[in-house]
Amino acid sequence: MRIRKSVEELDPYVPGEQPKDRSVIKLNTNENPYLPSPLVKKALESFDPEFLRKYPDPVFTELRARIAEIHGTVPERVFIGNGSDEVLSLACRAFVENDEAIGSFDPSYSLYKTLAAIRAVSFVPSPLAPGFAWSDPVVKGADGKDVALFLLTNPNAPTSVQYPKENIAEFASRFRGVVLVDEAYGDFAPYSCADLAAAPDNRNLIVMRTLSKSFSLAGLRFGYCIGPADLVEALYKVKDSYNVDAVAQAVALAALYDLQWMRGNAAKICRTRDDFAAKLRARGWDVPKSSSNFVFARPPARPGVDAHERARAIFEQLKGRHIYVRYFRGPETGDRLRVTIGTDSDMESLLCALDEIEPARA
Ligand SMILES: Cc1ncc(COP(=O)(O)O)c(C=O)c1O
């Protein structure tokens, strides 16, 4: 028995904790605190087990028509995956030769680097400008490998910052590879690149979406992307035949017919976010303007205390109080906490806990 070297040496992606204790205030994995649409419950209750006897639709006829309608495009330009993580994995399979590289900003979604390692291709990180702002992506690795696929989270995670659309369009127009704009948090942001992906003259830009965040369906596993028809066709060629099960298809379709519900929840979350960010800033925290359902916040400095140790200590103390947020080690991320936006009451509990941990200084 033999395990591939790249897998043996793999630093696997570490998802946020999923505690069994339901009393925990869970602000660590960017889930939605509100229930999915009532149409979802109805779809689950009325699902006929007869449909489980047969395989599900492998080409998602109804779903692609609905998603195309939402984005003003055609079904040939829509691909559907088992969560957007699957779409990412398939893009790495379809668009990158063995002697090419995968690129992304640093920091960004840490799964990207792991996906490159699984494919055993180079990963090229691109540094950001101060304030986690846009900087021209690096498209060649130090080893001379060309980046064939640039994975561009927008708004970025864990920074929460959204890059200007013009920068993305300009980059894509001169990039020889594929640009995949990961809009996992797009419904919490002021703008989207979906229209760029749907444009008839687009040759290399894909926009990816998930139902996990704004639609409150992380447990379902459903993501999709839109882009040029030839790239979409390539993704269909490399996917498993039945990558999204019949229940997920029925439930996703119901959710996609209730955009109003999703938008209402997203608007509530944005209001809570802006209020929470203002309260953290009033306590001296540095909070970049968020276009997501989370903030990436740095506690105020304390003389003689290392900023990374300080953020880590607050993370642990919150956990001790059954409030879970996320901490990412690393030079660019280790002095901050990523806090998912929950209900108003969740955020008040968090602020109370912070005030207990750190009573206001005279
Ligand atoms: C930037 C980004 N992309 C993709 C995903 C994965 O989403 P999904 O649940 O659709 O696999 C996440 C999940 O946290 C994410 O943060």
pLDDT tens track for 325-352: 999 999 999 999 999 999 999 999 999 9
Q: Is it the case that residue 258 has pLDDT exceeding 60?
A: yes
pLDDT of residue 212: 98
Q: Is residue 255 predicted with pLDDT exceeding 80? A: yes
Give yes or no for residue 109 CB within 6 A of ligand 1: yes
Rounded to whole angstroms, the Cα distance separating 81 from 63 reads 11
Ligand 1 in reach of 216 Cβ (< 6 A)? no
Local confidence band at 14 (pLDDT 50, 70, 90 cut-offs): confident
What is residue 6's predicted lDDT score, i.e. its pLDDT? 84
Residues counted in the chain: 362
pLDDT at position 361: 58
223 Cα nearest atom in ligand 1: 10
pLDDT single digits (tens) 187-245: 999 999 999 999 999 999 999 999 999 999 999 999 999 999 999 999 999 999 999 99
Give the residues across from 326 on adjacent strands: 338
Cis-peptide into 158, omega within 30 deg: yes
Ligand 1 centroid from CA 148, angstroms: 21
pLDDT in tens, 93-102: 999 999 999 9
User: Ligand 1 centroid to 328 CA: how many Å?
Assistant: 16
* Residues 99 and 140: beta-carbon distance below 8 Å: no
Q: How many other C-beta atoms can be found within 10 angstroms of the C-beta atom of residue 54?
A: 8
Cα 25 to ligand 1 centre (Å) = 20
pLDDT digit string (tens) for 107-147?
Answer: 999 999 999 999 999 999 999 999 999 999 999 999 999 99
d(CA 211, CA 67): 12
Q: What is the pLDDT of residue 362?
A: 45
Atom of ligand 1 nearest to the CA of 156: 1
List domains and CATH numbers for the chain.
5-34+260-357 (3.90.1150.10), 38-258 (3.40.640.10)
| Ligand 1 mean position, distance from CA 356 (Å) | 33
User: Does the structure show a pLDDT above 60 at 70?
Assistant: yes
Q: Whose CA is nearest to atom 3 of ligand 1?
A: 184
Tell me which residue has its CA closest to atom 13 in ligand 1: 184
pLDDT value at position 190?
A: 97
Q: Is any ligand 1 atom within 6 A of the Cβ of residue 212?
A: yes
